[in-house]
Structure 1
Amino acid sequence: MPEETKKLGVGALVALVVSSSIGSGIFGIPTDMAGTSSPGAAIIAWIVVGIGALLLCLCFTNLIAKRPDLSGVFSYAEAGFGPFGGFISGWGYWLSAWLGNVAFATMMMSAVAYFIPAFGTGQNILSIIVASIVLWFMCFIVNKGVESAAILNVIVTVCKLVPLFLFNVIAIIAFKAEIFTADFWGTVSGNFELTDVFGQIQNSMMVLMWVFVGIEGAAMLADRAKTKAVAAKSTVIGLVLLLVVYTLTSLLPYGLMTRDEIVKLGQPSLGYILADVVGPWGAALINLGLIISIFGCWLSWTMLPAETTLLMAKRNLLPKKFGEVNDANSPTYSLVFMTILTQIFIFTLLFTEKAYNFAYSLCTAAIFVSWIMVAMYQVKYSYQHRKEKGESLQLVIGLITCIFYGWAIYASGFEYFLLCFTAYILGIFFYYQARKEINEEKVFNFKELFTAGVINFGACIAIYLLVTGKIVV
């Protein structure tokens, strides 16, 4: 088959962005949001996060257009800060992807438990066995070819959007303004109080940022797109669709139940809300939609980390073994390596009380590394070309994006950010091995050695916090 026919168009890439982001989080977002924010604070939080996500997308679209020679999120960090910078970004992205799959495994089994009670809370032996079968099935599909998996992803995306669309239509019809406005600001006085409302917004950051993980999917597969412009366009279209779906799905429940009632619901809370409005079939529909949704997101997040390690190996940021591909142009070694690590982590679900929350918190913290380094390169590139038309605006966009995601790291829980550093220790070993494969005499310069030292120091702090119970898993 000619190479051109395999290239991905706008439809496939938009589906990848949407499917990569809409996974398990949206089906539980009513309870997660109600637990941290009142309706008024939630609206402001969505505006803040929406602007932050838009700024990141603008950075991606600008860099894809200005540097079409670069491939993969990590490539921007490498171009701006050298090979070790590229490794740090790529490893963070890779970590985020497969840790997200662990979160999917837990939530998927919880949804299956609605139909088959033997699965319990999604963390018993039966759940682990079935989740493991799905995990290796994903590995098998992607190993048959990334482009074929992307086409399947389009079908899955359409299927999982149907129950969400139905929920929003029913919720709009059943919406009661008096319930929505009863405790609009969630303050003691009932009025807008800056400190209290800002605290609610800050507490909701991890939940909101988690549902946007995957927005960079089109940029990650830009090499497999028909053109770089197609990848940029797909990123923006995907963001707009996500914002519409997310804001409606998270805000409408405030007009169906009181905040206290929503907080007490089980997961996936969307199903319980719909069941309260239309009856038991609503919960069945949402749980079925959740299973399909996670399947699609899990598929996307099996493609993306495999593509990351493949590209990193080509850039000599990981050993050459990670860059070996089969006849279907899929990196088998990278896929199997990632699947084994995910399998090990899935086994730990037997000993973790809040596996889903812990996994998605780690996933989100890891992706922050890649996102903020994209923004940092945007700043560097725009400053270097500041005399050219439009670059002053791009510089401002990059600076604001850096500030936003720096704050997001703090607001979402700095301890999870530190915990990700522990996984960098293995990664640094692989990076060192890769640089030696190309006979590089001095692998680290002074700045890189200092950065590696900071990472290791942060990992030690994280381990201490974990042992002393300051970080609960």
Structure 2
Amino acid sequence: MGNQEKKQPKVGLFPLITIVIGSTIGAGIFNLMKDMAMGAAPGAVMIAWLITGVGIGTLALCFQNLSNKLPDYDAGIFRYAEEGYGEFAGFASAWGYWLSIWLGNVAFATMLMSSLSYFFPIFEDGQNLPSILAASILLWVLNYLVTKGVENAAVINFVVTVCKLVPIFIFIVCAFLAFKANIFTMNFWGTLSHQFEFGDVMGQVKSTMLISIFSFVGIEGATILSARARRKKDVGRATVIGVTAVLIVYIFVTLLSFGVMSQAELAQLPKPGMAFVLEKIVGSWGAAFICGGLSISILGVWLSWTILPGETAMIAAKQGLFPKVFGALNQHGAPAKALFITSLSIQLFMFTFLISAQAYQFVTSLVASVVLVSYLFVTMYQIKYMKTQPKGRERTVQLWIGYLATAFQIFAVMSAGVKYILLLTLLFVPGVFVYIRARKEQGINKSIFNKIEWVAVIFIFTGAAVAVIGLISGIIQI
């Protein structure tokens, strides 16, 4: 196994940047203006992007600082949690991140089929039986591709990333030329008085948090592949550069759309919203062009998110957080068994298309909620680690970055609401048993949990029980 890892080619700065961008910009951007408009007016959206920019930007700076200071911490997305708060915290971070990626693939599947229905009506809204069958075939094709070597898949991801950015760039140019200030400023704050009202506007801002968080899931792509980086410093640089580029693109796409159509019109658009905004600007070919671009985009990000959960599970297994089966490599150096387990989980979850009326919106919100667990551990470890460093300007700056990033994660969790927190605990119940299995494989049969960890376990099972009752009674809707 060691020889296989040494033979794997290293990845440079530019490919790492494309992995960050490719892993982040996916299906969400093509419906971003509709999703935002459903709960927020232009003024609130601007505030939301300002808060998100600070929150995600400081998170990226945490990744950069920690990857520079601790270059040997491969896959720091959950290594930091383990080092700072113990094995179960490390597992919780790894489990949450692993869940967020493959659940994201479920969302990509329904959005892909929905976009293809523009050309092939048989797929309808992307949640019928033909959609499940087509998505299932693609799922296992991507699984096969990645098992033949992570590096080959990464090269394809680079090509697809370049291709998918073209329709987005054309949309931005067309929206800029069609932008009308009077449409953009019409009820700018979205309030009954048409004036700024703090409570109302902040309520609108909170409604966008899960949307914006989901839009940025994937920024840690370079960190997850840090073991394959040619230079460890490139991991942090790629993350910061990639996040900055993605944020700029998101701001242009959403705000320019509010200058082409009113909030009410954007909120009522079919999916994907970008297609029908461009259709209004250039005609019917615009919708077909965007739907084609969306299909390419999803294929690219789905490919990236096929790589990431396998890598995450493999590294977690090497650290003793996941059972050993997740760490087994095939002759191509790919975690084939981890990929199979992940793909099987996606396959089983795809059948929820038939019972959930809003599968895409539900799954994207669930992804954003679960990934916050991993991100919060990163930002808290940034604070904990920097407090051990010598006093000085760098320590002070990095501590404030950690404080701001942590505050944003907490704000995002609160914005998610009780529903998703309860569903989150339900997803962590099987994880507890997976962790117990992993610990027993390490020869630990007693005192698997310490006192604080037992409190966390009790919270998980209590929250899960409440979630089950809520689902059965209909109080919690999916």
TM bracket (short chain): over 0.9
Q: Spell out the pairing of 1:40-439 with structure 2 (5 A cutoff).
A: 40-72=43-75, 73-387=77-391, 390-439=394-443
Distance in 2, Cα, partners of 1:465 & 1:391: 46
TM-score, length of structure 2 as denominator length: 0.97
Q: d(CA) in 2 for partners of 1:460 and 1:13? A: 42
1:471 aligns with 2:460: no
> Shift of residue 389 of structure 1?
5.4
Count of residues paired in the alignment: 473
Alpha-carbon separation, structure 2, partners of 1:347 and 1:221 = 31
Give the C-alpha shift of residue 412 in structure 1. Answer: 2.2
* Distance in 1 separating the partners of 2:78 and 2:234: 19
Once the 2 structures are TM-superposed, how far is the Cα of residue 465 of structure 1 from its aligned partner?
2.0
Q: Distance in 1 between matches of 2:430 and 2:8?
A: 38
Q: How many Å apart are 1:396 and its aligned residue?
A: 1.9
Deviations 1:349-398 (A, max 9, x none): 11110000111111111100000000111111111225365222212221
> Could you say what the CA RMSD is over the residues aligned between the two structures, in angstroms?
1.4
How many angstroms does 1:333 deviate by?
A: 0.7
Moved more, 453-462 or 362-371: 453-462
- Of 277-286 and 451-460, deviating more is 451-460
Code of the aligned partner of 1:277: I
What secondary structure sits across from 2:227 in the alignment? helix
User: 1:456 maps to what in 2?
Assistant: 461
- C-alpha distance in structure 2 between counterparts of 1:310 and 1:415, whole Å: 31
Structure 1 window deviating more from structure 2 (42-51 vs 191-200): it is 191-200
3-state secondary structure, aligned to 2:71: coil
In structure 2, give the amino acid aligned to 1:41: A
Residue of structure 1 in register with 2:25 after alignment: 22
In the alignment, the residues of structure 2 paired with residue 388 and residue 142 of structure 1 have an alpha-carbon distance, to the nearest angstrom, of 45
Identity among equivalent pairs (%): 45
SS of the aligned residue for 1:131 comes to helix
More divergent stretch after superposition (184-193 vs 300-309): 184-193
Select the residue among 449, 454, 469 that pairs with 1:444: 449
State the alpha-carbon separation in 2 of the partners of residues 289 and 226 from structure 1. Answer: 32
SS of corresponding position for 1:114: coil
**Cα distance in structure 1, aligned partners of 2:51 and 2:5:** 45
CA separation of 1:2 and 1:463: change in aligned 2, threshold 3 A: closer
Deviation at 1:448, TM superposition (A): 1.5
The question of whether the paired residues in 2 share the 8 Å contact of 1:386 and 1:392 is answered with no
Secondary structure at the residue paired with 1:115?
Answer: coil
Cα contact 2:20–2:221 (8 A) shared by 1: yes
Tell me, which stretches of 5 or more residues in structure 2 are unaligned?
A: none
Per-residue deviation, residues 171-196 of structure 1 (Å, max 9, x unmatched): 11111111111221111121211111
Which runs of 5 or more residues in structure 1 are unaligned? none
Deviation at 1:238, TM superposition (A): 0.4
Q: Distance in 1 between matches of 2:335 and 2:317?
A: 10
Label 1:340 to 1:46 Cα distance change in 2 as closer, same or farther (>3 A): same
In structure 1, the partner of 2:12 is 9
Letter in structure 1 aligned against 2:88: F
Query: Equivalent residue of 1:318, what SS?
Result: coil
Does the 8 A contact of 2:5 with 2:333 survive in 1?
A: no
Q: Give deviations 1:284-335, integer Å, cap 9, x for gaps.
A: 1100010000001111111111111000000011111110001111111100
Aligned 8 A contact 2:62 2:401 in 1? yes
